[in-house]
């Protein structure tokens, strides 16, 4: 039986069958990996597009704030040079309330005061106050 040529051929056929099964499995896995890679690339593209659009929104907001700051600085410069009287400047962005807008009183901008709270600005930042009685001196 040692001279039987069918044994090596059968063994060779089994090995070829195993090799073809392995090649088929590897091909299927490679196709699955390509599909997963394509899906990941599409996700990354959508994330990058979303990031770019949010960057544009942030850039527009920054530019708007810079323009408002330039307007305020120009008004302050004109005030310092004795130029025209100032007007109320819109506050930054949509978060600001109308009562936080600067108020112009006698040619001087008073930030944070409305017309009812503003008045003559005192030159002395520490006005004289009368003495206050201690707790022991008060009548109970």
d(CA 69, CA 75): 10
| pLDDT exceeds 60 at position 76 | yes
Q: What is the pLDDT of residues 9-38, one digit of tens each?
A: 999 999 999 999 999 999 999 999 999 999
Quick one: 73 and 93 in the same domain? no
**Are 56 and 103 contained in the same domain?**
no
- In a domain, residue 135? The reply is no
Per the structure, the complete domain to which residue 63 belongs is given by 9-84
Which pTM does this prediction carry?
0.38
Whether residue 54 is contained in a domain is answered as yes
pLDDT band at residue 98 under the 50/70/90 scheme: very low
> Above 50 in pLDDT, residue 94?
no
| Together in a domain, 34 and 72 | yes
Q: State the Cα–Cα distance between residues 33 and 100, nearest whole angstrom.
A: 59
Helix (H, G, I), strand (E, B) or coil at 78: helix
Q: Kindly state whether residues 80 and 19 are assigned to the same domain.
A: yes
Q: What average pLDDT does range 47-51 have in this prediction? A: 88
CA distance 69 to 90: 10
Decide if 16 is inside a domain. Answer: yes
> Is 100 found in the same domain as 113?
yes
pLDDT at 137 over 60: yes
* 1 part of a folded domain: no
Q: Per the structure, how many domains does the chain have?
A: 2
| 129 within a domain of the structure (yes/no) | no
The reply to whether 94 and 60 lie within a common domain is no
* Domain contains 134: no
Residue 35 in domain = yes
Confidence of residue 139 (pLDDT cuts 50, 70, 90): low
Q: Are residues 105 and 79 in the same domain?
A: no
Same domain, 35 and 94: no
Cα 47 to Cα 41: distance, rounded to the nearest angstrom: 10
């Amino acid at each position: 039986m040692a001279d039987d040529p069918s044994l090596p051929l059968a063994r060779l056929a089994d090995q070829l069958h195993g090799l073809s099964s392995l090649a088929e499995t590897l091909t299927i896995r490679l196709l699955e990996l390509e599909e997963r890679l394509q899906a990941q690339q599409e996700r990354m593209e959508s994330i990058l597009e979303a990031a770019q659009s949010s960057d544009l929104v942030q850039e527009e907001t920054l530019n708007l704030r810079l323009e408002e700051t330039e307007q305020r600085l120009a008004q302050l410069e004109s005030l310092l040079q004795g130029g025209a009287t100032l007007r109320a400047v819109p506050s930054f962005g949509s978060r600001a309330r109308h009562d936080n807008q600067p108020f112009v009183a006698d040619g001087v901008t008073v930030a944070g005061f409305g017309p009812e709270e503003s008045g003559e600005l005192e030159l002395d930042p520490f006005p004289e106050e009368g003495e206050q009685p201690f707790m022991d001196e008060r009548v109970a």
